[in-house]
Amino acid sequence: MKHFALPFACILATTSFALADPAITVRPATMRAAPSPKAKVLQTIPANADIDLSRCTESWCYVSWRNIFGYVPVNSVEAMPERRVYVPAPPPVVYAPGYWGGYWGPRPFGPGRYRHW
């Protein structure tokens, strides 16, 4: 049973980090060990840094940045909207007038269909 407990604990530990929401800092923020302005300073997060937001109260948010967890002031954090992936539209099919396989007029097929002509 000892051999089963360690891998299971590792799986639980890695899946708990996926519950955080992406956010950014709107100004440089000081990460502290507790939700208090007198708490120990852990690190300073620069402006526009991507952070993981776990939970917030009315004045402090519990976040992680570069694998360090702590509290930052709520006015320094902004939740990010969902990132949307831009997929460009396919190129339009060009119809060129000319002689195409027995008739005159616009080419009925997309470009490159009959390259041997």
Q: What are phi and psi of 53, to 5 degrees?
A: -100, 120
Confidence band for 16, pLDDT divided at 50, 70 and 90 = very low
Residue 97 lies in a domain: no
Residue-number span of the structural domain to which 29 is assigned: 14-79
Residue 89 lies in a domain: no
Q: How many domains does the chain have?
A: 1
Q: How many residues does the chain have?
A: 117
Residue 8 lies in a domain: no
Residue 68 lies in a domain: yes
Q: Check pLDDT > 60 for residue 7.
A: no
Q: Check pLDDT > 90 for residue 112.
A: no
The pLDDT of 91-106, averaged and rounded, is: 60
Mean pLDDT, the chain, integer: 76
Q: Distance (Å, rounded) from C-alpha 6 to C-alpha 10?
A: 6
Residue 88 lies in a domain: no
Specify the CATH number for the domain of residue 34. Answer: 2.30.30.40
Residue 59 lies in a domain: yes
